[in-house]
Chains A and B, each alone.
Chain A
């Protein structure tokens, strides 16, 4: 039972253009959604999050959109830069408490930004 799905294993974008990474989820009890970025041989690093009660959160070049009715979120990167090339993971967080305090990750999308 995959609660968080990233159906695109990879995405290639030209430098300066918009990158759109998608994520679908099945668990309507998630409290927050997070995006992590991972370079090879490093651990994931937190990028941006959104509360389940919001529909948009923006931080510089990064914007996350949440569509609760469709159980879908997306990460927009504008403009894309070669340094953005990495694997991006979407994750849901179930809230405080012993059984729900964990991140549930998707399988990741490899973004390649071409110079």
Chain B
């Protein structure tokens, strides 16, 4: 595709539910990043893949957060037992390491 796509664009989850957020990076991009953006804040780094290898997961806020990229293209961010503080926009980016191309994000609301 022409850009990074993410689905769903909006997700409402009840507290305690598990959610899965999908990212389709730009074709051929080796690097893939996940960021979390809370209201009124800038995006904050969660995790980074180079192909299928997860090279840095230092930003994942708890062990409820898990990301994978099994075939080196599509990535999924999974949040288990969602909490209200997980409500945020989750952004995926791909591309050359510093000039990252962002998708539109998934807005997660935990009620």
Q: Which residues of A contact B (CB under 8 A)?
A: 4, 6, 31-32, 34, 36, 41-46, 49, 89, 91, 93, 96, 98-99, 101-108
Selected A-B contacts with CB under 8 Å, 24 pairs = A4-B42, A34-B99, A42-B104, A43-B91, A43-B102, A43-B103, A44-B91, A44-B102, A46-B99, A49-B99, A89-B42, A89-B43, A98-B56, A99-B56, A99-B58, A101-B48, A101-B55, A101-B97, A102-B59, A103-B33, A103-B35, A103-B98, A105-B35, A105-B43
Number of A-B contacts (CB under 8 A): 63
Most buried by B among A4, A36, A44: A44
- Least Cβ–Cβ distance between B19 and chain A, in angstroms: 19
Q: How large is the interface on B (under 10, 10 to 19, 20 to 34, 35 or more residues)?
A: 20 to 34
Q: Which residues of B contact A (CB under 8 A)?
A: 4, 31, 33, 35, 40-45, 48, 55-56, 58-59, 91, 93, 97-105
Interfacial chain B residues near A31, Cβ < 8 Å: 98
Interfacial chain A residues near B91, Cβ < 8 Å: 43-44
Of B43, B45, B56, the residue contacting A44 (CB under 8 A) is: B43
